[in-house]
Amino acid sequence: MTFRRSGDPVATPVWFAIEGGRLYFKSERRSGKVRRLRRDPRVLVAPCTVRGRALGPAVEGAGRVLDEGEAAAAERALRGQYGAGRRLYERFVAGGDSVWVEVVP
């Protein structure tokens, strides 16, 4: 979850991978979750449904948008986690103007 200016949490389900104790995901640069993270790095991470309904306890963390030089490691982690299914999603569904986000506990 990311947080609105009011402090209210917003469920933001993502495809993610964990590598070296860090969680990585990719999102469109202008998405609400990225705008909220740029303003407030606080996040709550929990297992959830595809619609964002939490299925377990949340862990607090901090998120940041990676620069282009840091994105390759995040891409490798996600590619290793999901394989062909994610490649199809990226090719036919995902937007083109995306950024990588790193979340640390």
At 88, list the tokens: 């199809």
Question: Could you give the CA distance from residue 50 to residue 30 in angstroms, rounded to a whole number?
Answer: 20
Task: Quick: pLDDT tens for 28-54.
Answer: 999 999 999 999 999 999 999 988 899
Task: Quick: pLDDT tens for 69-103.
Answer: 888 888 888 887 777 777 776 666 666 788 999 99
Residue spans of the domains in the chain: they are: 2-104
For residue 63, the SS3 value is strand
CATH topology of domain 2-104: Pnp Oxidase; Chain A (2.30.110)
Q: What is the pTM of this model?
A: 0.84
